[in-house]
Amino acid sequence: MDFVALRLSLELAGVTVLLLLPAALLTARFLAWRRFRGKSLLEAALAVPLVLPPTVVGYYLLVGMGSGSWLGSWVERFTGQSLVFSFSGLVVASLIVNIPFAVQPMQRAFEAIPDDVRDAAACCGMGFWRTLLTVELPLAWPGVVTAFVLTFAHTLGEFGVVLMVGGSIPGETQTIAIAIYDRVQAFDYAAAGQMSLLLLVFSLLVLALAGGWGRRIGRRDALPRL
């Protein structure tokens, strides 16, 4: 068992969730209720990582964040560090790749909140933040949990993009998914098997817990029948 890779994966997933979820939440809320020109295009752009092969996404990120790029050279000038083949680069890549996993469940959850409820909140004198925190978030909570679980689990299991952008530097960019690949390449099937089993059990457990919790909240906060 490669605990260094496991810790790195957990750190990457934690940082991704922490940074991505608040921004995704506001984006999801915006997309759920606003109508504007080009909305379909924006939604499609945010969903692209779902359908593109991870190597393609990884290639563009590698080119976009490399020292020859505007972003890469800017980051290098200010931090003295390269974005590619570093943990920071992995975080940026992970944030971008996980956008649809974070945004879509929350967007669907916000869309399910009836207009009447939001109208009533406004007429109760509630401002943006109060409505978000006391009405919208509790009602969209199953969507937030799903977004959290999907983003966290997907980051743990991400392979192609991480390999393209981060390479496989132990302790820096070698996540557990890449460590498994490395172990298989070295014919160390026992270690690969242990780590795979850990990921499998973890994923199953988290998904089952999140699903059960979401259903319980959904039943408790069911919309009244008229």
Partner 1 sequence: MRCPGSDFRLSVTLAQPVPIAAELACGGGELLALVGPSGSGKSTLLRMVAGLVNPSQGRIECGSLCWFDSTRGLHLSPQQRRVGFVPQHYGLFPHMTALGNVMAGLHALPAREREARARHWLARVHLPGLEQRRPAELSGGEQQRVALARALVREPSILLLDEPFSAVDQVTRQTLYLELAELKQELGIPVILVTHDLDEALLLADHMTLLSSGRSLQSGRPHAVLAEPASAEAARLLGMRNLVPGTLLRHDATSASSWIRAGSVELAAALAPDLEPGTAIVWMVPHAAVCLAAVPPPAPGGHADSLRVSIRSLLPLGDSVRISAEIPGLETLLRLQASPEEVARLHLEPGREAWVEYARAKVRLLRA
Q: Which residue in 34, 37, 77, 225 binds partner 1 (CB under 8 A)? A: 225
Whether 161 and 98 have beta carbons less than 8 Å apart is answered as: no
Query: Does 226 interact with partner 1 (rule: CB under 8 A)?
Result: yes
Query: Does 124 interact with partner 1 (rule: CB under 8 A)?
Result: yes
Q: Which residue in 22, 138, 170, 212 binds partner 1 (CB under 8 A)? A: 138
Query: Does 112 interact with partner 1 (rule: CB under 8 A)?
Result: no
Q: Which residue in 67, 81, 134, 185 binds partner 1 (CB under 8 A)? A: 134
- The count of chain residues that interact with partner 1, using the rule CB under 8 A, is 26
Q: Which residue in 8, 32, 109, 139 binds partner 1 (CB under 8 A)? A: 139
CA distance 87 to 101: 21
Whether 214 and 146 have beta carbons less than 8 Å apart is answered as: yes
Query: Does 125 interact with partner 1 (rule: CB under 8 A)?
Result: yes
By beta-carbon proximity to partner 1, the closer residue of 139 and 150 is 139
Query: Does 39 interact with partner 1 (rule: CB under 8 A)?
Result: no
Q: Which residue in 26, 45, 51, 119 binds partner 1 (CB under 8 A)? A: 119
Q: Which residue in 26, 122, 133, 208 binds partner 1 (CB under 8 A)? A: 122
Q: What would the x/- binding string for partner 1 be over residues 80 to 109, using CB under 8 A?
A: ------------------------------
Instruction: Report in angstroms how near the CB of residue 132 gets to partner 1 at its nearest.
Output: 13
Interface ranges with partner 1 (CB under 8 A): 114-127, 130, 134-135, 138-139, 220-226
